[in-house]
Amino acid sequence: MVLAVSLAGVVGGGATARADEAGERQLLYFNHAYGVFDRETADAIEDSAYLREFASFQVRTTTGAGGQTWTGRYLMGRETYLELFGVGDLPGQDGTLGSAGLGVSTERAGDLRTVIERLPRFGVAEPVEFRQTRDFGDGVPVPWFDAVFTTSSYDAFGAWGMEYLPEYFADPRSNTEPAGYPGDVGRERYLSDGYREHLMRDVTSVRIGVTERDLADTVPLLRAGGYTVRSVAGGAVATGGGTTIRLDTVERERAGLREVRLALNEPVAYRHVEPLGNSTLVVGPGDRAVWTFGGGTAE
């Protein structure tokens, strides 16, 4: 889910310092990424019969904190998922072409607080904290997850750390699973086992075009969460927790979700190419799929 929330007026810390990452326990794991695409691509994804076979797929309108709503197309895996939007499906700046986001979440209750306490070591003097709620249709907001940002100001990309809340797991309408261990607030518990009936299992890597400012504001969160972040030509790569995150520095007009790599539940002997608007999903051969998206150029 995207954090469709206004944070105007709240000051976030800059991302400049790098602390020693040696020995840091992994606290944050890739939860989901989202991208905003042209209407042709969004409609092709929404109407695709193939995606409904390939993944646990749904189109859903969600009501969050403050009554804000967003309509997304979801491909759900075992622990990770994708959230795909068309222009205008999200309110305000988040709904513009080429906008994207990244949620990284905890597996154990209390770990988000540890991340927040680490952030000043990485140059974030005033982390921005937020509680998201969900309305299941009765007008009563249910606490959903707590989140932290490094800043309230961004160009086209935002990343946040998050931790699911006990109240959400306790609500039967959440369709979540029982805890697997004390303090379990993990991704596998949050997501259903519907992925077992389809090919898609999980997201193994994402590649996103971001501005230099957005990259600088993202790196401290990843490092505080236990990721190893290394500079590469044209951007940075973060590893840790099973999903590789590549962030390429680009101008705003070229920003956006560029590529997603997916693990399959079982290998396939064929190569299937599925055009979806201005994107292409290639499945197989083997136990992998690659989904590439056109650049977030202005309409």
Q: Which two tokens stand for residue 153?
A: 């100001």
The Cα 161–Cα 1 span in angstroms is 12
103 has pLDDT over 90: yes
Q: Which two tokens stand for residue 216?
A: 């600088």
Coil, strand or helix: which one is 9?
A: coil
pLDDT in tens, 8-67: 333 333 333 333 444 478 999 999 999 999 999 999 999 999 999 999 999 998 888 888
Question: What integer pLDDT is reported at residue 64 of this predicted model?
Answer: 86
Question: What integer pLDDT is reported at residue 65 of this predicted model?
Answer: 85
The Cα 186–Cα 225 span in angstroms is 15
**C-alpha distances in angstroms, 200 versus 55, 80, 192, 265, 284?**
5, 10, 13, 6, 11
Centroid of chain to Cα 59: 16
Question: Does 5 reside within a domain?
Answer: no
If you compute the radius of gyration of the chain from its CA atoms, what whole number of angstroms results?
A: 18
**C-alpha distances in angstroms, 2 versus 133, 156, 158, 209?**
12, 13, 10, 18
| In contact, 268 and 200? CB cutoff 8 Å | no
Q: Which two tokens stand for residue 218?
A: 């993202």
297 has pLDDT over 50: no
Q: Which two tokens stand for residue 173?
A: 């309408």
Question: Does 76 reside within a domain?
Answer: yes
The Cα 206–Cα 99 span in angstroms is 15
> What's the domain range around 210?
29-293
Question: Does 196 reside within a domain?
Answer: yes
Question: Does 86 reside within a domain?
Answer: yes
pLDDT in tens, 146-178: 999 999 999 999 999 999 999 999 999 999 999
**Helix, strand, coil: what percent of the chain each, to 5?**
20, 40, 35
Question: Does 104 reside within a domain?
Answer: yes
4 has pLDDT over 80: no
Question: What integer pLDDT is reported at residue 69 of this predicted model?
Answer: 86
Question: Does 35 reside within a domain?
Answer: yes
Question: Does 2 reside within a domain?
Answer: no
Into how many domains does the chain fold? 1
Coil, strand or helix: which one is 67?
A: helix
Question: What integer pLDDT is reported at residue 15 of this predicted model?
Answer: 33
| In contact, 94 and 36? CB cutoff 8 Å | yes
pLDDT in tens, 238-288: 999 899 999 999 999 999 999 999 999 999 999 999 999 999 999 999 999
Question: Does 23 reside within a domain?
Answer: no
